[in-house]
Chain A
């Protein structure tokens, strides 16, 4: 049916999680990933002692920055705001951010292990930084498991929010582990006042960081929308179940009325 030449039957609501903004961000991310690969694997020179293994630095540190400083911080803020305001938005945001954070923390662990082999001579060492990072990984996996428990949604969200806040405390241990204990892991990579790195390597590091941050936000937009759709679907199912119960109740009332007459 058309009115004033416009087809009103055409759906304005897309059957996907994309939007103009997310598509533009996605395109920027693809360009940045291509640039990062060129700079990290080809343009930058090998380091004097680590040789080509240093190239893992351009994805290892940005992955850690994204998971610790962005993803799990959003989970912390979302958890606090959920407990304060009972906001579904913040509950879903906290969950979406934690899931992507776990993916990036996995990247941090894997690339760290691969980098450790040629530089330290071992893939893994029960060192304070590595151990506390692995503990964080397990804690946030636990957080994601709690979010999937089959129980009252409000209670589940409250428990997840508490775990989201408690898990963040371990990140402080991860952050300061290299200063508090003797560690095989190096300390702060970039001193904001006096950095030891310069030129194309520093540029590639910043390129890697910006790329990973934008990829994170692109994923967060889509993952949040998926979580929102899941929430809506659960509500539709609940409404249908209530409706079914009501009609069953009405039908039994009508039959009992008929019998009494």
Chain B
């Protein structure tokens, strides 16, 4: 008893996570291609913070 609620719950959570993660990764790729290399670094040293890319 209860599987009819459990399965949709797990599908919603992990399905949404998969779709959201894919959308974020694709957006990152698309934005990276639009920027020159020097602007592509995450938190460049001139921003006063450490470079996360390392």
Residues of A within 8 A of B (CB): 11, 13-19, 33, 37, 40-41, 46, 50-56, 59-60, 63, 88-89, 103, 106-107, 110-111, 114-115, 117-118, 215, 218-219, 221-226, 228-230, 232-233, 235-236
Flag if B47 contacts A89 (CB, 8 Å): yes
Which residues of B are at the interface with A, using a C-beta cutoff of 8 A? 1-3, 5-6, 8-10, 12-14, 16-17, 20-21, 24-25, 27-29, 31-43, 47, 49, 52-53
The answer to whether B37 touches A11 (Cβ under 8 A) is yes
Chain B residues with Cβ below 8 Å from A221 are 52
> Smallest Cβ distance from A127 to chain B, in angstroms?
18
B1–A107 CB distance below 8 A? no
A15 and B6 contact, CB distance less than 8 A: no
Shortest distance in angstroms between B23's beta carbon and chain A's nearest beta carbon?
10
Which of A53, A89, A107, A226 gathers most chain B CB within 10 Å? A226
Chain A positions within 8 Å of B33 at CB level: 15
Whether A223 pairs with B6 at a CB distance below 8 angstroms is: no
User: How many residue pairs, one in A and one in B, have C-beta atoms under 8 Å apart?
Assistant: 123
Write the chain A residue with the least CB distance to B34.
Answer: A233
Question: 13 A-B contacts, Cβ less than 8 Å apart?
Answer: A13-B37, A15-B29, A15-B40, A33-B14, A37-B10, A41-B10, A51-B1, A52-B3, A114-B9, A118-B5, A219-B21, A226-B28, A236-B39
> For the complex, what is the distance from the CA of A60 to the CA of B12, rounded to whole Å?
12
- Report if A17-B9 is in contact (Cβ < 8 Å); known contacts: A107-B16, A232-B35: no
Known: A19-B53, A55-B6, A118-B5. A111 touches B35 (CB 8 A): no
Do A229 and B40 contact each other (CB < 8 Å), given the known contacts A15-B32, A106-B16? yes
Query: Which residues of chain B are near A107, meaning CB under 8 Å?
Result: 12-13, 16
Query: CA of A106 to CA of B35 in the docked complex: distance in angstroms?
Result: 33
Q: How far is the CB of A194 from chain B (nearest CB, A)?
A: 27
The complex places the Cα of A52 from the Cα of B5 at a distance, in Å, of 9
Give every chain A residue within 8 A of B5 (Cβ-Cβ).
Answer: 53, 56, 114-115, 117-118
Q: Please measure, in the bound complex, the distance between the C-alpha atom of A219 and the C-alpha atom of B27, giving whole angstroms.
A: 13
CB <8 Å contact, A16 and B25: yes
